[in-house]
Chain A
């Protein structure tokens, strides 16, 4: 599976948009981009996923570049409760192997 590269940490002001980048330069055509987050020591929480089109849900937006080698997770109006570690993962859909691999992620700190 393709590996991902994320910054170790980022800060964001409360109320502003948080833009979290992820590089996945070796992504294959059938691999999706998934984002999860982990607040403190809770279980990770699914946020969003996409293949090549931009996606939006009630939590966030996912912007995938045309060449699919990178993506950005956008939290439009960050709150203090969005402080968490954010994981970017690439994997195939309908996988017969387990390949949802969580790396170190990006620690986002939202500041008042």
Chain B
């Protein structure tokens, strides 16, 4: 099994719908992150969490919310999806040293 698992892998949804992207990790790390990537661009941070009780906004949190259900689980929600949220979404985890982030395989989200 992968260290970081994201579901679903692909999703097409309609404008205005609420959608949740899920992430789970088996690394035992406290820190988890959600990134967004648009075509041809680098990754931008949406939200991050350093432990279950710690949630922080990243660069582009507007229109998104998160839930840290357990050390191993970190979900990203789009409350009312809009077309410009069409992107590739990555979840990642790291230990407290921050040496190396481990990323999931990504969720490709299309909002029509």
Question: Which residues of A are interface residues toward B (Cβ below 8 A)?
Answer: 34, 36, 41-46, 49, 87, 91, 93-96, 98, 100-105
Flag if B42 contacts A103 (CB, 8 Å). Answer: yes
Q: Which residues of B contact A91 (CB under 8 A)?
A: 98
Question: Can you list 10 contacts pairing A with B, beta carbon distance less than 8 Å?
Answer: A34-B100, A43-B105, A46-B101, A46-B102, A87-B42, A93-B98, A98-B33, A98-B45, A102-B43, A103-B42
Interface-forming stretch among B11-19, B76-84, B88-96? B88-96
A42 close to B105 (CB less than 8 A): yes
CB distance from B36 to the nearest CB of A (A): 11
Q: Is B35 interfacial (CB 8 A cutoff)?
A: yes
Q: How far is the CA of A38 from the CA of B89 in the complex (A)?
A: 14
Q: Is the interface of B mostly helix, strand, loop or mixed?
A: strand
Q: Is the CB of A43 within 8 A of B41?
A: no
Instruction: Pick the residue among B58, B96, B104, B108 that contacts A43 (CB under 8 A).
Output: B104
What size tier do the contact residues of chain B reach? 20 to 34
B4 within 8 A of A: yes
Q: B45 to A101, Cβ gap below 8 A?
A: yes
A43-B90, A43-B92, A98-B56 are known contacts. Are A49 and B99 too (CB-CB below 8 A)?
yes
Interface of A is mostly: loop
Q: Kindly supply a per-residue 1/0 record for chain B positions 24-53, scoring 1 wherever the CB is within 8 Å of any chain A CB and 0 otherwise.
A: 000000000101000011111100101000
Extra contacts, 15 of them, besides A43-B90, A44-B103, A102-B35 (Cβ < 8 A), are: A41-B108, A42-B103, A42-B105, A44-B43, A44-B92, A45-B103, A46-B100, A46-B101, A87-B42, A95-B98, A98-B58, A100-B33, A103-B42, A104-B41, A104-B42
Most chain B CB within a 10 A radius of its CB, from A41, A46, A98, A101: A98
Given A42-B106, A102-B35, residue A94 in contact with residue B99 (CB < 8 A): no
- Give the Cβ gap from A38 to chain B, nearest Cβ, in Å: 8
Q: Looking across the interface, which residue of chain B has its beta carbon closest to that of A96? A: B50
